[in-house]
Amino acid sequence: MFFRNSPTMDERTVGGLLTTRAKELGQQSFLMFQKENFTYRDVDRISNRIANGFLGLGINKGDNVAVMLDNCPELIFAWFGLAKIGALEIPVNTALKGPLLAYILKHSGSKTLVTQPSCLEQVAFVEDEIKGIERILVVGGISENVKGLETSSFKDLMAQNDNPPRVEVYPCDLMAILYTSGTTGASKGAMIPHNCFYCAGEIVSEHMGYTEKDILYTCLPLFHANAQYDTVMPALYFRGKLAIGKRFSASRFWDEIKEYGATEFNGIGAMLSILEKREPRKEDSQNPVRLVYAQPRPENQAAFEQRFGLKLIELYGMTECGCPVTSIPLDGDRPMSCGKVMRGIELKVLNENDEELPPGKVGEFVVRPTEPFRMFLGYYKMPEETLASFCNLWFHTGDLGWKDDEGYFYFTGRKKEAIRRRGENISAQEVEQVLNSHASILGAAVIGVPSELGEEEVKACIVLKAREKLEPEELMKFCEDRLAYFMIPRYLEFKEDLPRTPTGKVEKYKLKEEGITSRTWDREKAGYKLKR
């Protein structure tokens, strides 16, 4: 248990861990991005300046700051700087637009937004709905004010001194609010304490057997939990190096891996499938990677490992749980399994009455921590949802699976109404909300249908109002201003009506059984290119 007078207390905060590593390692390289290279001392001092800059703006411990940036060093500096003063990072997906962007900025109570020039148009589109945003700090130059909102350069924060800020921060203090896609309601903000991030670095590093010679690479977005939990924090914890790619590019991926000398990367969603489908090359195995943390693994795992000369380690986890809940042991494997339970957490399989099921029976995964502050502390401003999710002292994940006699777990699907597309969780309800706001649409139902790259694609079933007409391309343009590109349906099908229960609820299982039909419009086959 942690006590406030513990001499090692600040070592289990993210800012404290960074300062400790800077004292230990000084000029050792820590952060690499394109041609830039920052030592542990550089990152520590820059984050101190950013922290003092935030304090100078009146941002104090417990305040929320929205950070809407693509992968770049400034995102890391802002994240660590906020951590050092006990302020909370609210990472925002840079693809978000319209109602969902406005919702997160409003619901989080953020008064400051750190963003980039390319996102200002999206912010301007919802300006009337985000009156709580008082200040916008722009990375990469100063832009004109957004409809009267104060806009200044993020670089101004760098003018502060690099003395450690005098703010007491504890492992139990919140460090971030990570918004997860809604299922039956609005997106929920998972409140993540410092020790949850610390545990991610500690437990993943130990499980994967990282050493100071390892270089962890991620091209996954830093505004998602995976990159923060499973790449940034382990690199910091085990005194290694962190290499960041701007975004995933199949054509550039292995060249960038070689340039950085990366020994590990995380592969989620369709990423490994895309790499697998590329034309084989003689030099495929000539890369420095030895381990890949994968979710899920390719169907032909052995062929993938042999082709690229590496080992795949599958995991199962979610934002609320911090570091992975289960993972395949480094010295073993079990086909189709997502592994055994990691340290610091319990996992059971329960039926609909919250009774534990025997091995081989499919039920809902439920988890709870065995160490303090190992998981999230609830959903921000949503006490009822928090209470419901922790029914009978277990956090109910909404995921389905089973376990075998040897303690290996197997993920089989989702109980909750969410769509998983290329590593992104998509709320069907939030897509439906936008579609139903179109003047010509009477009703819409959104489902996930199988993708040729694994996971799912988004399909929308549309019922138009009487005597209304709507071309698919017109609806795509409407969505482009209001939805993140990855949420926009690939498939559209106009229907006379939607199947419903006697109480009027849409029977989505019937729509999923129909899948793609001869009446389904396919955006990709039609050659429509989304505006991002």
Q: How far apart are CA 314 and CA 452, in angstroms?
A: 21
pLDDT at 417: 65
Written as six digits, the tokens of 29 are: 């390289």
Report the CATH fold assignment for 193-414: Rossmann fold (3.40.50)
Strand partners for 339: 409
Q: Is 90 within 8 Å of 104 (Cβ atoms)?
A: yes
Residue 427: which of 85, 89, 104 has the closest Cα?
104
What is the pTM assigned to this prediction?
0.83
pLDDT at 221: 93
Q: Is 123 within 8 Å of 113 (Cβ atoms)?
A: yes
- The mean of the pLDDT values for the chain is 90
Instruction: Provide long-range contacts, Cβ within 8 A and 24+ apart, for 443-449.
Output: 443/498, 445/498, 445/506, 445/508, 445/511, 446/419, 446/489, 447/419, 447/508, 447/511, 447/512, 448/419, 448/420, 448/421, 448/512, 449/491, 449/512, 449/515, 449/516
Sign of the C-alpha dihedral computed for residues 515, 519, 521 and 524 taken in this order:
positive
pLDDT at 2: 38
Lowest mean pLDDT among 52-56, 71-75, 138-142, 300-304: 138-142
DSSP of 158-190, one letter per residue?
GGS--SPP-----TTSEEEEEEE--SSSS-EEE
- Tens-place pLDDT, residues 186-245: 789 999 999 999 999 999 999 999 999 999 999 999 999 999 999 999 999 999 999 999
The confidence band for 145, taking pLDDT boundaries of 50, 70 and 90, is low
Residue 296, preceding bond cis, omega within 30 degrees?
yes
The residue type of 240 is G
Lowest mean pLDDT among 29-33, 37-41, 255-259, 328-332: 328-332
Q: How far apart are CA 422 and CA 420, in angstroms?
A: 7
- Tens-place pLDDT, residues 154-196: 999 988 999 999 999 999 999 999 998 755 567 899 999 999 9
The answer on pLDDT for 5 being more than 70 is no
- Tens-place pLDDT, residues 245-294: 999 999 999 999 999 999 999 988 678 888 988 899 999 999 999 999 98
Length of the chain: 532
Written as six digits, the tokens of 18 are: 């960074």
Residue 22: which of 38, 37, 43, 53 has the closest Cα?
43
Q: Provide the terminal-to-terminal Cα distance of the chain, rounded to the nearest Å.
A: 47
Alpha-carbon Rg for the chain in angstroms: 23
pLDDT at 144: 62
CB atoms within 10 A of CB 72: 18
Give the three-state DSSP class for 259: helix
pLDDT at 170: 95
- Tens-place pLDDT, residues 454-512: 788 999 999 998 888 999 999 999 999 889 889 999 999 999 888 876 656 777 878 88
Q: What is the DSSP letter of 72?
A: S
Parse the chain into domains and list their residue ranges.
Answer: 13-169, 193-414, 419-526
For residue 191, give the H/E element and its range.
Answer: strand 188-193
pLDDT at 202: 95
Query: Higher-confidence residue: 341 or 448?
Result: 341
- Work out the burial of residue 466: count CB atoms within 10 Å of its CB; fewer than 13 is exposed, 13-18 middle, 19 or more buried: exposed
Share of the chain above pLDDT 90, in %: 68
CB atoms within 10 A of CB 474: 12
CB atoms within 10 A of CB 75: 25
Written as six digits, the tokens of 438 are: 């179109």
Cα dihedral: 437, 425, 480, 104 (round 10): 70
- One fold for 13-169 and 419-526: no
Report the CATH fold assignment for 13-169: Rossmann fold (3.40.50)
For residue 218, give the H/E element and its range.
Answer: strand 215-218
Give the three-state DSSP class for 349: strand
Residue 100: which of 425, 450, 397, 465 has the closest Cα?
425
The answer on pLDDT for 388 being more than 60 is yes
Q: Is 362 within 8 Å of 397 (Cβ atoms)?
A: no
- Tens-place pLDDT, residues 401-418: 899 999 999 987 777 666
CB atoms within 10 A of CB 516: 14
Q: CATH homologous superfamily for 419-526?
A: ANL, C-terminal domain (3.30.300.30)
